[in-house]
Amino acid sequence: MASTTFSGPVTSTAGFVGDIKVPTYTVASAPSAATAGAGTLVYVSNGAAGSAILAFSNGTDWKRSDTGATIAAA
């Protein structure tokens, strides 16, 4: 199966096959959630009080995927 790299949002009408990789950041290095846009997913290595977490942009802040709280290193 071919591998393709995209720089913007990806939409699939037939599902995805294989691994989905999201960008990795720390709380300090995460881009602006407003710039990233609502619905963007990232992996934050210390965003759950120092533990790793998937986070999503609500258009204003990066929110933890488990609780909806804003990401924080501590």
Structure confidence by residue, pLDDT tens digits, 2-34 = 677 777 777 777 777 788 889 999 999 999 999
CA 35/CA 57 separation, integer angstroms: 9
In a domain, 15, yes or no: no
Q: Kindly state the greatest CA–CA separation across the chain.
A: 41
Q: Average pLDDT of the chain?
A: 91
Sheet holding 51-57, edge to edge: 24-25, 41-48, 51-57, 62-64
Residue 51 lies in a domain: yes
What is the pTM for the complete model shown?
0.77
Residue with token string 């290193």: 73
Q: Does a structural domain hold residue 42?
A: yes
Instruction: Print the domain residue range for 50.
Output: 24-64
Distance, CA of 73 to CA of 47 (rounded, Å): 5
* Number of domains the chain is built from: 1
